[in-house]
Amino acid sequence: MSVTNGDRALVEQWRDILALHARTQCELDRVLHQHGLGASDFEVLDVLSEGIADDGSCSFRVQEIADRVHLSQSALSRLIARLEREGLVERAMCVEDRRGVRVVLTTKGRDLHGDVLPVQRAVLTRMLAADAD
C-alpha cells in the first residue's frame, strides 16, 4: 500500500497537534505545580467554576465532569477524592438520582481557582500563540 502526499500531510498535522498538546500540558503542569495543582486538577476546578449559580452554589455529576476533562471515570474519581481531601471540592448524593454523585466547588476551591486562572490562561496564550507563529 502506497502512502500519498495527502496522507503524509494529514499524519504530520495530527502529530503536530499531539506535540502541541504534550508541550502545553507539560508547561501547565510545571507552572500549576507551584500552586499545588496539576493541569487535570485545574481543569476540574475550571469546569466546576463555569457552573456557579447566582447564589454561589455549583455542582456537576461526575460523568458530566468526565465528559469535559477527558479523563476515565476511575482517574477522575481519584482526582476528585484528592481535591476533596484538600478541601477544594465536596461530594454529595445526587438528589435526582440517588446512585449518582455530584461534585461541588468549595469556597477554598473557588478562591484557588480565581488565583490560578490568570496563570493558566497566560500559559495557554503563550503556548498557543507560539504555535500560530
Over the chain, what is the mean pLDDT?
Answer: 87
pLDDT of residue 59: 75
Sheet with 89-93, side-by-side order of all strands: 60-61, 101-105, 89-93
Q: For 63-99, give one letter per residue: b (16+ CB within 10 A) or e.
A: eebbeebebeeeebeebbeebbeeebbebeeeeeeee
- Residue range 32-40: average pLDDT? 95
Interatomic CA distance for residues 61 and 91, integer angstroms: 9
Look at residue 94 and tell me whether its pLDDT is greater than 80: no
Q: What is the value of pTM for the model shown? A: 0.84
| Confidence band of 55 (pLDDT split at 50, 70, 90) | very low
pLDDT of residue 53: 47
Q: Which fold has domain 5-132?
A: Arc Repressor Mutant, subunit A (1.10.10)
